[in-house]
Structure 1
Amino acid sequence: MARLIEFDEEQAIQKAMEVFWKKGYAATSMRDLTDAMQINSSSLYNTIGDKHRLFVRCIKHYIKMRIDAVEQRYISFASPIQALESFIKDAADIITTEPNSCLCVKATFEIEGDDPEIQAIITSYDNFTHRFLKDLVEKAQSQHQIGQNENADTVADYLVSTFIGWYNSFILHQDRNKILNMADFIIRQLRC
């Protein structure tokens, strides 16, 4: 009887996520994954499942990391406008310094809507980001830190769409200053 190899599942998911993040779903082989996770394929199939199940786990892990980071980072700001401005600057910084772009953006373009499960997971993250930004906008409006004439939903939608556009722009042009200048522009517009 073959002996099952025990492994730290969370650490293995992290390593697999990094492979998917770098190579994309289609270009990642099971060998790439098992090598990175330092497990054999039977251990992977017996504990997590096939490549798709692993990808689902990796996307969920990535999103949880992002949400946890947002919730920890922005809780300490003195005012909602400071948190909102910092979020915009942080987004520009992450987009222009993260070596593999955003795993969710990459997955969205790669699956092109052909995987409802992955699309639903990514949509839930998009909804979280939208709610988070809308909440900051509403709080900043209620404290008269930004104009009240704009709909908070629309501002949040605009920001989320803008961040996705920045990913695309940076992939094409590799121009960090272009993204940082757009971030500064949006912050000035919010203050009007």
Structure 2
Amino acid sequence: MARSKEFEENEVLLKALHLFWEQGYEKTSLQDLVEHMGIHRRSLYDTFGDKHTLFIKTMERYAKLTDATLKAEAQRGRTAKESIRLIFDYLIEAKGEQPIGCFFVNSATELAYRDPAVSELTNEGFSKEEQLLEGLIQQGQQAGEISANQEPSLLASSLHTTMIGIRVLRRTSADKKKLHQIANVSMSMLDK
């Protein structure tokens, strides 16, 4: 008779995500995962596969969470510029139980150059973020609030690069005031 699972899969996947996010892939051992997730090693293998497969599943979950969060932040804005500002503010001010910084940025810098699956997922995630920004920029250009002197895709890439830098600086002792100033300078590219 097969044993039933004694854990909620989504809940333990989020625990693994937070541990990988905080410690990175290489520094997180299977024993760390088992202890942090609160499951047996056999259950980890049966449900999620090996450590690498689990890591990829956490990246996929993070992609969905981040996509939904950034879209929700953007939807709060009344204008395209305000929506972009809200995304910057979220990245700088994000509070809660999640580790500081960005799981994609961390994963890209640790593994993407030598792990094709991680590279593909981080590129997809970054591409979605740029597409969100590009759509907002196009809206703003059509509404006349954002300069039409630059291609929306180039502006989106530049803003996104700044956002990545802010995520990296958030993991250091960077002052939030300084991060907001950096965001302001980047946002000034949108001015007419």
Q: Under a length normalisation based on structure 1, what TM-score does the superposition of the two structures give?
A: 0.90
User: Structure 1: 5+ residue runs without aligned partners?
Assistant: none
How many angstroms apart in 2 are the aligned matches of 1:105 and 1:39? Answer: 28
Alpha-carbon distance, 1:72 to partner: 2.5
1:50 corresponds to: 50
How many angstroms apart in 1 are the aligned matches of 2:114 and 2:28? Answer: 18
Range that drifts further, 71-80 or 107-116 = 71-80
Alpha-carbon distance, 1:88 to partner: 2.4
Query: What amino acid is aligned across from residue 20 of structure 2 in structure 1?
Result: F
Matches within 5 A, 1:1-192: 3=3, 5-94=5-94, 99-192=99-192
User: Structure 2: 5+ residue runs without aligned partners?
Assistant: none
List structure 1 runs of 4+ shifted beyond 6 angstroms: none
SS of residue paired to 1:27: coil
Preserved CA contact (<8 Å) 1:4 1:43: no
Cα displacement string for residues 132-187 of structure 1 (whole angstroms, at most 9, x for unaligned residues): 00000011001100111111010000011111222334445522221111112223
How many angstroms apart in 2 are the aligned matches of 1:4 and 1:45? Answer: 15
How many angstroms apart in 2 are the aligned matches of 1:75 and 1:147? Answer: 21
Cα displacement string for residues 59-81 of structure 1 (whole angstroms, at most 9, x for unaligned residues): 11111111111223322432222
Aligned residues: 191
Alpha-carbon distance, 1:191 to partner: 2.0
RMSD: 2.2
Range that drifts further, 38-47 or 166-175 = 166-175
Preserved CA contact (<8 Å) 1:84 1:136: yes
SS of residue paired to 2:148: coil
SS of residue paired to 2:94: helix
